[in-house]
Amino acid sequence: MASIKVKGTVTKVFWEGKGLSVTESYKAKSGETIEKQYTVWLKAPGTYDIGDELVVEGLYSAEIELWTNQDGTPKLNRNGEPGQSIKVSINNPYITPADPALVIKSLFEPTHEPSPF
């Protein structure tokens, strides 16, 4: 199975602390800021907060997600076609703080999990 490594910011904590949305931001050649969102699935509830900057390594999985309106009808994209996105998840994660000064501290927190690699 493929692995993935992402450096980003926690933008959402859900499913009783076992799920995180992590957003990676970078500048494109054109100068615009590009954001990519990843779902991180933890084995046990974590102690992560919105705004935490993390480096996440884990197993890559992706699925096509069809856009729908609240009434269940297909939501259209800007071209008038049914919209879809690729939902990327990171499973069995190994998480460290993005700030190297916090790495030593993270080794003693209960959410630190050994690398599966």
Question: Is residue 117 a part of any domain in this protein?
Answer: no
Asked if the model's pLDDT at residue 111 lies above 80, the reply is: no
Domain count, the chain: 1
- Structural domain that includes position 21: 3-106
Query: Can you tell me the mean pLDDT for 26-42?
Result: 95
Question: Is residue 15 a part of any domain in this protein?
Answer: yes
Read off the pLDDT of residues 59-108 as tens digits, 9 standing for 90 and up.
999 999 999 999 999 999 999 999 999 999 999 999 988 877 665 554 45
Asked if 89 contacts 39 with a C-beta cutoff of 8 angstroms, the reply is: yes
Question: Is residue 18 a part of any domain in this protein?
Answer: yes
Least confident of 17-21, 25-29, 68-72, 104-108: 104-108
Question: Is residue 91 a part of any domain in this protein?
Answer: yes
pLDDT at 101: 64
pLDDT at 98: 84
pLDDT at 112: 47
Mind giving me the DSSP string for 26-75? Answer: EE-TTS-EEEEEEEEE-SS-----TT-EEEEEEEEEEEEEE-B-TTSSBP
pLDDT at 106: 47
Asked if the model's pLDDT at residue 10 lies above 60, the reply is: yes
What confidence tier does 51 reach under pLDDT thresholds 50, 70, 90?
very high
